Structure 1
Amino acid sequence: MKLKEDINPVLLQVFRSVVWVYSFITFLPWYLLSGPSEGVERARRVKAVSVSGHPGGPYRAVNSLAHLASTLHPDCDTLDKVFEFAAQRFPQRDCLGTRELLSEEDEGQPNGKVFKKVILGEYLWMSYEEVYQAALWLGSGLAGLGQRPQHNIAIFCETRAEWLISAQACFMYNFPLVTLYSTLGGPAIVHGLNETEVTHIITSKDLLQSRLQDILLELPRLRHIIVVDTKQTTWEGFPRGISVHNMATVQELGAKPENLARLRRQPRPSDIAVIMYTSGSTGVPKGVMISHSNIIAGITGMAERIPGLCEEDTYIGYLPLAHVLELSAELVCVSHGCRIGYSSPQTLADQSTKIKKGSQGDTSVLQPTLMAAVPEIMDRIYKNVMLKVEEMSSVQKTMFVLAYNYKMEQIAKGNSTPLCDGLVFRKVRSLLGGRTRVLLSGGAPLSAATQRFMNICFCCPVGQGYGLTETCGAGTISEMWDYSTGRVGAPLVCSEITLRSWEEGGYHSTDKPNPRGEILIGGPNVTMGYYKNEARNREDFFVDQNGQRWFCTGDIGEFHSDGCLKIIDRKKDLVKLQAGEYVSLGKVEAVLKNCPLIDNICAYANSDQSYVIGFVVPNQRQLLALAEQKRIRGSWEQLCNSSVMETEVLEVITDAAIAGKLERFEIPRKIRLSAEPWTPETGLVTDAFKLKRKELKRHYQDDIERMYGGK
């Protein structure tokens, strides 16, 4: 997507002349040293083929045609062995880092609200040897508190170093780790802990006091709570029979010679490593049973798609570790000796909500080379930068737009643009620390506009991936030199993918020019199924005649001629309108989220109605500007509740839908503006910011009836 060139012709000619002279001087040495041919050739080559010859597959990566990869390092077939291998190979290298908290203060806002702001220092690091020792002592201490091998233990904690140390302790001692999102509501937490019958839980002081303490009476089996972040020695107000311990105290217990001497029962590859509860976008969360061999196969596939991955890399961890994307990414990093610096969405950048103005966010201090993100976060960065571009002077804006469009043309030819990168995009690139070389996007589809923006302005490839909890997050990742947009790449070396025709939706594996159908993923990374849910296991998983497990994703994809997959629909998101037209709600949302006026949107349709409606979280700055332009007065809440404002926003949305080539019946006819953003805390989106359609429908039920002419 080119940016609009509303530019002074003289300035345009000057810029083009400078670029031409620069390109002429630098082209020959650059071409001789690196040249575009290799990158362009790699991007265009066939990356996966159908091993059966059938257009629907199964498709395998061309470098895994003989067999699917399942092992990262020789003789490392369980996660404890993988980490032990890393600790022996990189004992003194930095492993896990946490920023020092220097000060904390309350900052009043114009609307009367008070925000807590922090000033953080440098990262304090634990070496691989220290992390290994800490995990060993913790596992030994948990065993001393009565935790037994192959009996479930839960972690309910924010993303932090102690989370991964706890996970490694459980892997070492063969304690299946039950993971729960820190934003889950009380009933979902109770369901997960009671279903898995845990007696021990690892948590933080904040979550213990704000979420767990109120539901302890509903957890009859719970006996021990281990708190990761406090030196407190006495705990009061807890039900009889429940003991609360500090993590440091448990490690001291585990470090005693008599406890360390206890025979450790190491896991087998087929043993459960993690029972990962999904974020519950469709009701009660399901626990996915993931074996050691499943995770190792998954991270083997992911690591193969990251060129040059080594101990020189730095990864920034801030997404929920209870999500398969973050856990897999961090396990990939520790298996290769990388260092992981911890952060949070509230402290990530200099402009983040908890960072005191004038102090540095985590990316500025850490300067990561590797980063994973969900599209929601990338969309936010994209919109914020483009808003700042709009505020630039005429000359600055002209230079940015020209450089952007010039670089986009050069990327398509396989050329690099060091002049533009250094002069124009250096400031944007510094938002993520300035050293990022690989960005991995997962969790939901990434819009073409946002992907292209990240490629250009952050001067690094964006590998868009596709996977699910049920496949250890592994399925596909686009290759780093493939700058095409809207696709998720070829199957990883650990998995194969086939497309199954879906008659009702009109998708067939024999479609021309590209086969289409429901995506089925097979391979050693496909998990053991849902915990205590045989009915869903029979519905979603199956084993073929060769003994290989498959998962039926419910997503609709198409394979391109080079073996790359594109996600085009989802069975559950497809609604048939009264007149018989099928509407893909996900497609409508993906197109409209590119509209600067929209921060988030949920499209909705009833099968007994003839049109689509939508719930919209507007961008505050854009909406206030539109209100001023239309001379509509009122507070933020009044504007969002104004029917006049709804009409004005709907006009903008309709124009965006037409520009995005949506069909007439796909364009929302009525909308409801939301004054409050949708966050995991509101219960309307998951921790990966996926829409919870059931909850959104319940939340906006009165508005649905109003927009469809009911009450």
Structure 2
Amino acid sequence: MQTFKVPSSEVPGYSAIYRNSLFKDGTHGGEFAHITTAYELFQHHLAIAPKSEFLGTRQFNPADGSFGAYEWLTTTDAAEYVEDFGSGLDHVFAKYAPDAKGYGTQQPLGMYANNRYEWSLAEFSAIRSRRYTVGICDSVNVGSADYIINHAEISVVVCSIDKIPRMFDRMSITPSLRVIICMDRLDCSRINSVTQAFCAESAGMLRKRAVELGITLLDMDEVLEMGRATPTPACPPTPSDICTMCYTSGTTGEQKGVLLTHQGLIHGSRSCHLSLRLSDTTHLSLIPLAHCMDRYATYTFMYGGVRVGYANGDRALIADDIQALRPTVLVGFPLLLNGIYESMSKATIGAKGVTGALSRMAYRSKKKRLASTGNLSHGLWDRVLFNKVAAKLGGRLKTIISGAMSLNPEVINFFRAALSCNVVQGYGQTETGAAGTIQRLDDFTSGHIGVPNPGNDIRLRSKPDFGYLVTDSPCPRGELMIRTKSVFAEYLGEPEKTRDTMDGEWLATGDIVQINTTGTISFISRAKHHVKINNSCWVSPERLENIYVQHPLVQSLFVDGHDDYNKVVAIVVPDSAEFVPWARTVASSTAASLEELCTNATVVQELTKSLRIYSASVGLSVDEQLGAIYIEPMPFRERNSGMYTSLLKLKRREASKFYAEQLKKLYTEVGGLFVASSL
């Protein structure tokens, strides 16, 4: 058993309390007890790795727009920068935003940019003077950045130069904004991928417009000089102080500002370090820093020493960033990892001829060896084949950590075999500072999200309306509840929503899970994403998506249901490499395009039939079979990026609105009048 079941802890409607089996008392023990804030964690990293490479960015060649090797700041360099810039921030707030509001006696510092080392330096500088950061993200919807600035009452923003014109244009609706600090030199003397669109003249126009708008516009170098000229004493935070405020992704409604304390983030990162115990880690920062997951990962790795290399901001060049950095750990989310898997598997186990046959033989051999011995390496097959595959991701990967959603077990098994590295899944929410559960490194199974992090208690709450009960046998099922010091302080300005999220001292996650016989936890679905179809049966579209996406002809899909109908329907994006040759055979047309095949009635009918046969083979009920489908030739993100959060999670409400016409036709096929989905 990987979890410890606390004796006699069951109460009606709730399961027993479960803890990490290695930390049965529900605490961390005494290790790293002296670290209680992110400021102290930074000092710890400075003490253990003062001269080591810490924060890295890739050289940029403006002549051809290419990126070169990583250049590094040592931890000592970063510490000096933090002291100087932190002092400069003290002067900026005192001189230009003396009336800045905030939470309690603390002031917020807005952060508005893609991932880069200046983001992290500015955050540690804010922490050094007991301020907290607020990540500003404009990928959720058009007005998201404005909403965050207003809701958090931000007076000072640190941003990249490309964000400044937009903020100037929106000044009339963001009245709290007083100061903009540009991460890039305003004289454009340092060219990077962001500043290449600007010149000294256009930067000068920004200065002029700032004066006209009554905004103080500085760059980070100017703030550094303020701090160096007149240093101020550090004012370190306390454990109960706010470290950062992150906004929820918006998948289930309007964004909420989640206030996370130093105690919470340190508790979570410490517990994750005690689970993984990684040291001398090289980490690629690519998940948006406006959210907490990437920062949580960095904090976790800082206990044992870390080099953080920042992605260049172009998702299409992530593979190039990986090659340049050669990370030892990759923290990602399923959509990213699925993309890597698709590329690698097509070139190996999905290839034709000798390459495909040899790859499949090697893959089966390594999976069998791993299952019997727990050994990730294989002397023969690694030398002959898989070392070349691993080299495409730098050749040094030891661990892949996946969060946000469930990862297909086939993807996990492929990475373990092809890359000779372990893959672990974890679970967390913004409200838990990204901390919750994590899979053990010595566990090579799949299909679950691990066990409680050390120091975290979990239990389940029955959801009888959905058919999930803590008394289900052999596996209790219900809503996941978490009790931990990582739980957020509150939603800013929304006490009722804060109370609704808590059940006493327990956070109600809104996610349905089950406790497996091994003590691991398997994710089932979001409770808010359940729908009742008109035969009074509850189904989980999200769960169905995770199952149907494993069909070889499917790349991704959006399942929709409504209580006016007794069938669920789906928008299906096919895997073009598998789908096109199959569909051309079905349509008896060797030259038909992908778009033509997607609208071919016979192809739609046969794919629907194939998906129904598949659903029966994996044990889905009749109610969970797809009543009708629409085949979408273009991936969802390419068709409409607004349907995804910045963490690439599907926003169901937006998808339902975008495909309203297609859904109307599908529901007409299954019978009844169309009513817009309430998801």
Change (3 A) 1:142 1:645: farther
Contact 1:188 1:284 in 2 (8 A): no
**What's the offset of the Cα at 1:415?**
4.5
Change (3 A) 1:51 1:391: closer
**What's the offset of the Cα at 1:156?**
1.5
**What's the offset of the Cα at 1:575?**
1.6
Q: Which residue of 2 aligns with 1:254?
A: 227
Q: Structure 2 CA distance, aligned partners of 1:142 and 1:643?
A: 63
Change (3 A) 1:442 1:215: same
Q: Which residue of 1 aligns with 2:531?
A: 575
Q: Which residue of 1 aligns with 2:647?
A: 688
Contact 1:60 1:495 in 2 (8 A): yes
Q: Structure 2 CA distance, aligned partners of 1:419 and 1:75?
A: 47
1:668-694 CA distance string (max 9 Å, x none):
222223344333972101112111011
Q: Please tell me whether residue 677 in structure 1 is matched to residue 635 in structure 2.
A: yes
Q: Structure 1 CA distance, aligned partners of 2:209 and 2:611?
A: 53
Match of 1:387 among 322, 346, 350: 346
1:317-345 CA distance string (max 9 Å, x none):
11111222211001122333211111157
Q: Which residue of 1 aligns with 2:515?
A: 559
SS at match of 1:702: helix
CA RMSD of aligned residues (A): 2.4
**What's the offset of the Cα at 1:217?**
1.9
**What's the offset of the Cα at 1:591?**
1.1
Q: Which residue of 2 aligns with 1:196?
A: 152
SS at match of 2:565: coil
Q: Structure 2 CA distance, aligned partners of 1:661 and 1:382?
A: 26
Q: Which residue of 2 aligns with 1:664?
A: 622
Map 1:515-530; keep pairs closer than 5 Å: 515-530=476-491
1:89-113 CA distance string (max 9 Å, x none):
31110001111112565xxxxxxxx
Contact 1:570 1:586 in 2 (8 A): yes
Contact 1:383 1:596 in 2 (8 A): no
Change (3 A) 1:391 1:507: closer
Contact 1:98 1:123 in 2 (8 A): yes
Change (3 A) 1:207 1:335: farther
Contact 2:252 2:651 in 1 (8 A): yes
Change (3 A) 1:72 1:693: farther
Change (3 A) 1:703 1:405: same
**What's the offset of the Cα at 1:230?**
3.4
Q: Which residue of 1 aligns with 2:23?
A: 64
Q: Which residue of 2 aligns with 1:111?
A: none
**What's the offset of the Cα at 1:438?**
0.9
Name the amino acid aligned to 1:76: I
Q: Which residue of 2 aligns with 1:368?
A: 327
Q: Which residue of 2 aligns with 1:302?
A: 272
Contact 1:390 1:397 in 2 (8 A): yes
Q: Please tell me whether residue 408 in structure 1 is matched to residue 363 in structure 2.
A: no
Match of 2:243 among 252, 255, 273: 273
Change (3 A) 1:225 1:635: farther
Contact 2:58 2:312 in 1 (8 A): no
**What's the offset of the Cα at 1:585?**
0.9
Contact 2:552 2:578 in 1 (8 A): yes
**What's the offset of the Cα at 1:449?**
1.4
Change (3 A) 1:398 1:639: closer
Q: Structure 1 CA distance, aligned partners of 2:314 and 2:303?
A: 28
Structure 1: which 4+ aligned runs deviate by more than 6 Å? none
Percent sequence identity over matched residues? 26
1:482-519 CA distance string (max 9 Å, x none):
01111111111121101111121122212211222111
Aligned positions, number:
635
Map 1:410-425; keep pairs closer than 5 Å: 410-416=369-375, 417-425=378-386
SS at match of 2:626: coil
SS at match of 2:662: helix
Q: Which residue of 1 aligns with 2:127?
A: 171
**What's the offset of the Cα at 1:640?**
4.5
Q: Structure 2 CA distance, aligned partners of 1:690 and 1:595?
A: 20
Further displaced range: 503-512 or 532-541: 503-512
Q: Which residue of 2 aligns with 1:428?
A: 389
Match of 2:172 among 199, 217, 223: 217
**What's the offset of the Cα at 1:423?**
1.9
SS at match of 2:465: coil
Q: Please tell me whether residue 464 in structure 1 is matched to residue 437 in structure 2.
A: no
Name the amino acid aligned to 1:246: D
Map 1:76-95; keep pairs closer than 5 Å: 76-95=35-54
Map 1:12-23; keep pairs closer than 5 Å: none
1:347-366 CA distance string (max 9 Å, x none):
6xxxxx348xxxx8122222
Q: Structure 2 CA distance, aligned partners of 1:187 and 1:564?
A: 40
SS at match of 2:406: coil
Change (3 A) 1:581 1:268: same
Q: Which residue of 2 aligns with 1:291?
A: 261
**What's the offset of the Cα at 1:625?**
3.2
Name the amino acid aligned to 1:136: E
Contact 1:516 1:559 in 2 (8 A): yes
Q: Structure 1 CA distance, aligned partners of 2:153 and 2:283?
A: 34
TM-score (structure 1 length as normaliser): 0.85
Q: Which residue of 1 aligns with 2:574?
A: 618
Q: Structure 1 CA distance, aligned partners of 2:418 and 2:382?
A: 8
Q: Which residue of 2 aligns with 1:187?
A: 143
Q: Structure 2 CA distance, aligned partners of 1:160 and 1:372?
A: 16
Q: Structure 2 CA distance, aligned partners of 1:285 and 1:597?
A: 35
1:273-320 CA distance string (max 9 Å, x none):
11101111122211101000000001011111213x22x321111111
Q: Which residue of 1 aligns with 2:285?
A: 317
Map 1:694-709; keep pairs closer than 5 Å: 694-709=653-668
**What's the offset of the Cα at 1:577?**
1.4
SS at match of 1:290: strand
1:629-649 CA distance string (max 9 Å, x none):
331766655554555553344
Contact 1:269 1:293 in 2 (8 A): yes
Q: Which residue of 2 aligns with 1:229?
A: 184
TM-score (structure 2 length as normaliser): 0.88
**What's the offset of the Cα at 1:460?**
1.1
Change (3 A) 1:125 1:205: same
Q: Which residue of 2 aligns with 1:336?
A: 304
1:74-125 CA distance string (max 9 Å, x none):
43211111101211331110001111112565xxxxxxxxxxxx42211100
Change (3 A) 1:283 1:642: farther
1:402-438 CA distance string (max 9 Å, x none):
1111211111112432322222211221221111111
Further displaced range: 650-659 or 605-614: 650-659
Name the amino acid aligned to 1:121: G
1:465-489 CA distance string (max 9 Å, x none):
0111111111110101101111111
SS at match of 1:64: coil
Match of 1:136 among 72, 78, 83: 83
1:187-240 CA distance string (max 9 Å, x none):
22222111111101111122334x534322210110111121334363243461
Change (3 A) 1:381 1:656: farther
Contact 1:612 1:669 in 2 (8 A): yes
